[in-house]
């Protein structure tokens, strides 16, 4: 039963990554704790980071084949964010896990609100990186990586709006491009947690098995929704608000 629950949880995570480029770790952590049964929040964070990183790279390959990845922007954002992710993960391991999850839920609400702005529904699908865009992506990437590492997440919910803000690309391209950073940030976070023996390797592998297959369905759904202006943004924001509300309730209950 443990193995089956891990695979099914991976299916949910993989579909979310394929659909909106995020939701990996923020869904994986509560799934690992409340469905699969990992008791320690830090172990759940480390395990989810590894599983989400591998699943993100698998979904990245699907988006790349569909031509939705803007590689120069994706690479610039990821390289800048890697340093921040390593620093954030080092600090995050020293903070109580319940407070980490509660704080991230608050950040998610702010991100969801930003995705509902009318301007967020547009974007230039033919955007090319230049010096002003590169500077914005480096600055936003570092801050996003710092937050992703601190909260022990892949960071897709932060990376997608961050890439859109820095480059001006549409949400579908941001979803595809974000997966490179999700994978890089998650791998960096998982590495620091693995050094402290806070990764359940078998559970992570089962997550990847379930997530790899579901990512294809998520990507196809994202392509269909992107045809309707603002629809993918609304789905993105709705998922953020639902998960944030759940985590706020669990976080407050745990602290109380």
Write out 50-64 in H/E/C secondary structure. HHHHHHHHHHHHHHH
CA distances from 28 to 10, 59, 123, 146, 246 (A): 8, 16, 30, 20, 13
Coil, strand, or helix at residue 230? Answer: coil
In the prediction, which pLDDT does 86 show?
Answer: 82
pLDDT in tens for each of the 256 residues of the chain? 778 888 888 888 788 777 766 666 667 877 888 889 888 888 988 898 898 888 889 889 888 988 989 999 999 999 999 988 888 878 877 777 677 767 777 877 877 787 676 555 557 778 889 999 999 999 999 998 888 778 766 666 778 888 988 999 988 898 889 889 888 888 888 888 899 999 999 999 998 888 877 877 877 787 777 666 567 668 777 877 887 887 788 778 777 6
d(CA 134, CA 77): 8
Contact 7, 206 (CB under 8 A): yes
pTM of the model: 0.73
In the prediction, which pLDDT does 134 show?
Answer: 95
Length of the chain: 256
In the prediction, which pLDDT does 89 show?
Answer: 79
In the prediction, which pLDDT does 131 show?
Answer: 93
Give me 18's structure tokens: 């394929």
d(CA 234, CA 92): 30
Per-residue exposure over 5-42, b if at least 16 CB sit within 10 Å of its own CB, e if not: bbbbbbbbbbbbbbbbbbbbbbbbbbbbbeebebeebb
In the prediction, which pLDDT does 24 show?
Answer: 66
Contact 74, 174 (CB under 8 A): no
As a whole number of Å, the end-to-end CA separation of the chain is: 31
């Amino acid at each position: 039963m443990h193995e089956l629950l891990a695979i099914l949880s991976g299916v949910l995570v993989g579909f979310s990554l394929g659909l909106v480029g995020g939701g990996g770790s923020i869904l994986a952590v509560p799934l690992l704790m409340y469905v699969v049964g990992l008791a320690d929040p830090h172990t759940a964070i480390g395990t989810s980071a590894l599983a989400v990183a591998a699943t993100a790279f698998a979904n990245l390959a699907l988006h790349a084949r569909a031509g939705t990845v803007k590689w120069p922007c994706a690479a610039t954002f990821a390289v800048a964010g890697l340093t921040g992710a390593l620093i954030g993960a080092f600090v995050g391991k020293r903070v109580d896990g319940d407070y980490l999850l509660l704080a991230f839920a608050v950040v998610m609400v702010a991100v969801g609100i930003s995705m509902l702005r009318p301007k967020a529904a547009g974007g230039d699908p033919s955007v090319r990186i230049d010096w002003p865009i590169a500077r914005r992506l480096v600055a936003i990437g570092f801050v996003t990586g710092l937050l992703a590492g601190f909260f022990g997440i892949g960071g897709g919910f932060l990376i997608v709006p961050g890439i859109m803000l820095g480059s001006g690309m549409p949400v579908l391209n941001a979803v595809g491009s974000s997966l490179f950073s999700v994978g890089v940030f998650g791998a960096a976070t998982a590495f620091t947690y693995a050094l402290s023996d806070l990764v359940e390797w078998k559970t992570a592998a089962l997550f990847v098995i379930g997530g790899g297959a579901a990512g294809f369905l998520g990507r196809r759904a994202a392509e269909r929704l992107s045809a309707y202006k603002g629809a993918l943004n609304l789905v993105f924001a709705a998922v953020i608000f639902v998960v944030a509300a759940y985590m706020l309730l669990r976080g407050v209950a745990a602290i109380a």
